[in-house]
Chain A
Amino acid sequence: MKRLLSLFLCLIMVISLFTGCTKKEETSGDAAGSSDVIKIGVFEPLTGENGGGGLQELDGIKYANKMYPEVLGKKIELVIVDNKSDKGEATTAVTRLIEKDKVVAIIGSYGSGVSIAAGDIIKNAKIPAMGASCTNPMVTQGNEFYFRACFLDPFQGRVMANYALQQGAKTAAVIMQNGDDYSVGLGNFFIDAFKELTGDEKSIVDVSEFQVNDTDFNAILTNIKAKNPDVIFAPSSATTAPLIIKQARALGIECPIMGGDTWENPAVIDVAGDDAEGIVLSTFFDENDPATEEAKTFVTGYKAELAGKEPIIPAVAALGYDAYLLVRNAIERAGSTDGVAIRNAIAATKDFEGVTGVINFTEEGDADKNIAVIKTVKDGQFVYIDTVEVK
């Protein structure tokens, strides 16, 4: 019996070895043999703590691919890899895209930490990358091959600090995730802006940090409650946000709780339930206020595509759509699939009409955007409050 079993296992292993081989040959044969496909890599977290947001962004990119499937008379093929919201996995995933799949450009990723981790590989391979919603400045800093379609955290932090002040907040507490570039970055930009705007060094009454995958925030929140701030700013993933919100309310903390762009995710409302009412967040896009012609077509088309899967169009989907279009547009203008040529074409993008506004790139490779949308949650829905412009 045992011998039979081991024989059977051996057989399976041998077979799997062969299937592995044939598959590989097929794909490499495709890449070399047929030149009628242009490959664009998509590098997103589909699992892990940012899996929810990554999927939304991917949906936007896939939709863009469906609407604009061709460039230079060739079909665009999306090669999707999962970076598992993990910096280690991120470098492996990007290396795979470049070395094995030979993509001409890369789109992604949701989450600044993974994008920063992959930055050097992208730079050395001279393959242009277009971040959709990674907002930390370090993603594009000193990396001429990394671009992004969204605004930056210093701007976002300022917008939120401004809003908090307008609402009459004089003191604030900040909660951020230790080791997460997005969360710590945005948290610190908020702290700087808030101190500057209030002119009071003591206006930030508490700064607390937590670790990835932490679920218990009672201790941190109890400390914060004792200091009684007017507002809590807690940039965090959509997985963590509802836990913070719920526990804060259960502890009897009644002040407004604010977050960043990651919070615009149905999962936050779904998990936090009634406690999500009144949270404030900043985001990139509002479907009720389309900025361009492209946006209008996108809103109608994508609404139908979603078919009620999500109540509103997630801003990251819009950005994913824009990122794809920017890359496609650049390939078209470059007229080639050479990495450096595409890179230069992206940098030369002028007044590109995207879904999230008109896009030009700064020296650093960031979309020159100065508009953010502030939303809240009312009756279990994200509701538009204001569009803020900061000069």
Chain B
Amino acid sequence: MTFEVFMQQLANGISIGSLYALLAIGYTMVYGILRLINFAHGDIFMMSAYFMVFGMVTFGLPWYVSAAIVIVAAVALGVLIEKAAYKSLRDAPRMSIMISAIGVSFLLENLATYLFTGVPKGFPDIDILTRAISFGNVSLSVATLVTPVVTIILLFVVLFITNKTKIGMAMRAVSKDFETARLMGININRVISTTFVIGSALAAVGAILWGSKYPSVIPLMGVMPGLKCFIAAVLGGIGNTTGAVLGGFILGMSEIMLVSFLPSLTGYRDAIAFIILIIVLIVKPTGLLGEKVTDKV
């Protein structure tokens, strides 16, 4: 392997890793607050991609206007899902709410199939993102460079919100102890809604960047990224935002490196994600940066 090829693969890995990271933040935040694996997260991501197609192709809006609309629409969808499918189950056993999440996920996938058919739609070209630039023999699209930067910036924004603002303090309190936080007068519903707002907005940003790199929009496009980002969140320590980003990068990088160093195993690329998940669950169930939580009795 030449140096150039290695650099190209490194860029590929960072790029896919940062996309995973963006989505993983959404998983990890909802889990932190509700102890719920939000299976519908990947489908909010998918719907955002469709919103973008409609904004730019059907209504012919410029990309920045569509992007803003997409983020707002995704946030609305995320909050709506929370209100409709999760809120009424707040005191139900954790299993019920998880099954409800799976139900919402299937509902969104089938709704999209019904409304938009299974025929792939082309994600609109965002000129400034899809332009290719090359350094010697290493060729990258602008999106490849922009994605990690956006991910890191958004990570800091999320960290700022959770650590420095009042609502963030409330979020941390709820995540530590749901019941006590409620007794202390924290508005639980507002905290949960905010979590979904942040998670869905990140999914929307992820969808826009994802679409620019992988422009085939189909109803099931959220399934695999959803699963992998969930794995990334577990890997980093579910509930921990920095961990989710770290997990995303590690996962993306290991996938790409598997292909580049062991080309004969390219067909097993998806397997690596699940192998990582199993190893993490066996060796360090709390993930890389997860804290050990003692269950309250």
CB <8 Å contact, B215 and A47:
no
Q: How far is the CA of A224 from the CA of B238 in the complex (A)?
A: 36
Interface centre among A210, A226, A273 (most CB of B within 10 A): A226
Q: Which of B273-290 contact A (CB under 8 A)?
A: none
Q: A254 CB to closest chain B CB, in angstroms?
A: 11
CB <8 Å contact, A242 and B122:
yes
Which B residues are in CB contact (< 8 Å) with A119? none
Q: Which stretch from A33-41, A126-134, A244-252 is at the chain B interface?
A: A244-252
Determine if A223 is an interface residue (Cβ-Cβ < 8 Å): yes
CB <8 Å contact, A213 and B1:
no
Q: A52-B118, A55-B119 are in contact. Are A250 and B132 (CB under 8 A)?
A: yes
Determine if B65 is an interface residue (Cβ-Cβ < 8 Å): no
Which B residues are in CB contact (< 8 Å) with A55? 117-119
What 0/1 pattern do residues 1 to 36 of B give for CB contact below 8 A with A?
Answer: 110010011001101100000000000000000000
CB <8 Å contact, B12 and A219:
yes
CB <8 Å contact, B118 and A46:
yes
CB <8 Å contact, B263 and A206:
yes
Determine if B267 is an interface residue (Cβ-Cβ < 8 Å): yes
Which A residues are in CB contact (< 8 Å) with B259? 208, 219-220, 223
Select which of A210, A211, A239, A273 is within 8 A of B218 by beta carbon.
A239
Q: What interface size band does chain B fall in?
A: 35 or more
CB <8 Å contact, A243 and B214:
yes
CB <8 Å contact, A52 and B220:
no
Q: Which of B239-268 contact A (CB under 8 A)?
A: 255-256, 259-260, 263, 266-267
Q: How far is the CA of A85 from the CA of B269 in the complex (A)?
A: 21
Interface centre among B1, B16, B213, B221 (most CB of A within 10 A): B213
Q: How far is the CA of A223 from the CA of B256 in the complex (A)?
A: 11
Determine if A389 is an interface residue (Cβ-Cβ < 8 Å): no
Q: Which residue of A lies closest to B215 (CB)?
A: A271
CB <8 Å contact, A267 and B120:
yes
Q: Which stretch from B134-142, B177-185, B187-195 is at the chain A interface?
A: B134-142
Q: A4 CB to closest chain B CB, in angstroms?
A: 13
Interface centre among A47, A51, A213, A270 (most CB of B within 10 A): A47
Total A-B residue contacts, Cβ distance less than 8 Å: 131
Determine if B113 is an interface residue (Cβ-Cβ < 8 Å): yes
CB <8 Å contact, B260 and A222:
yes
CB <8 Å contact, A271 and B122:
yes
Determine if A141 is an interface residue (Cβ-Cβ < 8 Å): no
Determine if B172 is an interface residue (Cβ-Cβ < 8 Å): no
Q: How far is the CA of A214 from the CA of B139 in the complex (A)?
A: 21
Which B residues are in CB contact (< 8 Å) with A167? none
Q: A136 CB to closest chain B CB, in angstroms?
A: 18
Q: A308 CB to closest chain B CB, in angstroms?
A: 16
Determine if B270 is an interface residue (Cβ-Cβ < 8 Å): yes
Q: A243-B215, A271-B215, A271-B216 are in contact. Are A47 and B122 (CB under 8 A)?
A: no
Q: A52-B119, A252-B132 are in contact. Are A210 and B220 (CB under 8 A)?
A: no
CB <8 Å contact, B267 and A209:
yes
What's the tally of chain A residues with a CB closer than 8 Å to chain B?
43
Determine if A364 is an interface residue (Cβ-Cβ < 8 Å): no
CB <8 Å contact, A213 and B223:
yes
CB <8 Å contact, B121 and A270:
yes
Select which of A208, A218, A270 is within 8 A of B16 by beta carbon.
A218
Determine if A178 is an interface residue (Cβ-Cβ < 8 Å): yes
CB <8 Å contact, A51 and B1:
no
Q: A92 CB to closest chain B CB, in angstroms?
A: 16
Which B residues are in CB contact (< 8 Å) with A270? 120-122
Q: How far is the CA of A243 from the CA of B270 in the complex (A)?
A: 17
Q: A60 CB to closest chain B CB, in angstroms?
A: 15
Determine if B236 is an interface residue (Cβ-Cβ < 8 Å): no
Q: How far is the CA of A85 from the CA of B218 in the complex (A)?
A: 13
Q: A210-B269, A219-B255 are in contact. Are A47 and B141 (CB under 8 A)?
A: no
CB <8 Å contact, A214 and B132:
no
CB <8 Å contact, A242 and B132:
no
Select which of A219, A225, A243 is within 8 A of B216 by beta carbon.
A243
Q: How far is the CA of A45 from the CA of B256 in the complex (A)?
A: 31
Which B residues are in CB contact (< 8 Å) with A218? 12, 15-16, 256
Determine if A216 is an interface residue (Cβ-Cβ < 8 Å): yes
CB <8 Å contact, B266 and A49:
no
CB <8 Å contact, A273 and B122:
yes
Q: A215-B214, A243-B216, A271-B215 are in contact. Are A223 and B118 (CB under 8 A)?
A: no
Select which of A52, A214, A272 is within 8 A of B270 by beta carbon.
A214
Select which of A243, A251, A273 is within 8 A of B125 by beta carbon.
A273
CB <8 Å contact, B220 and A48:
yes
CB <8 Å contact, A251 and B1:
no
Q: Which residue of B lies closest to A253 (CB)?
A: B139
CB <8 Å contact, A271 and B121:
yes
Which B residues are in CB contact (< 8 Å) with A48? 118, 220
Select which of A85, A208, A219, A226 is within 8 A of B256 by beta carbon.
A219
Q: How far is the CA of A9 from the CA of B105 in the complex (A)?
A: 21
Q: A175 CB to closest chain B CB, in angstroms?
A: 9
Interface centre among A46, A211, A271 (most CB of B within 10 A): A271
Select which of A49, A51, A178, A271 is within 8 A of B267 by beta carbon.
A178
Select which of A215, A222, A252 is within 8 A of B9 by beta carbon.
A222
Q: A311 CB to closest chain B CB, in angstroms?
A: 14
Determine if B61 is an interface residue (Cβ-Cβ < 8 Å): no
Q: Name 13 extra pairs, CB < 8 A, besides A52-B118, A216-B255.
A: A51-B218, A52-B120, A55-B119, A209-B266, A213-B220, A213-B224, A216-B16, A219-B266, A225-B8, A242-B216, A243-B214, A243-B216, A273-B125
Which B residues lie at the A interface, using CB under 8 A? 1-2, 5, 8-9, 12-13, 15-16, 113, 117-123, 125, 130, 132, 134, 137, 139-141, 210, 213-216, 218-221, 223-225, 255-256, 259-260, 263, 266-267, 269-270
22 CB contacts below 8 A, A to B, read A52-B119, A210-B266, A214-B224, A214-B269, A216-B16, A218-B16, A219-B255, A220-B266, A222-B260, A226-B2, A239-B216, A240-B216, A242-B122, A242-B215, A247-B213, A250-B132, A251-B139, A252-B132, A252-B139, A267-B119, A267-B122, A273-B125
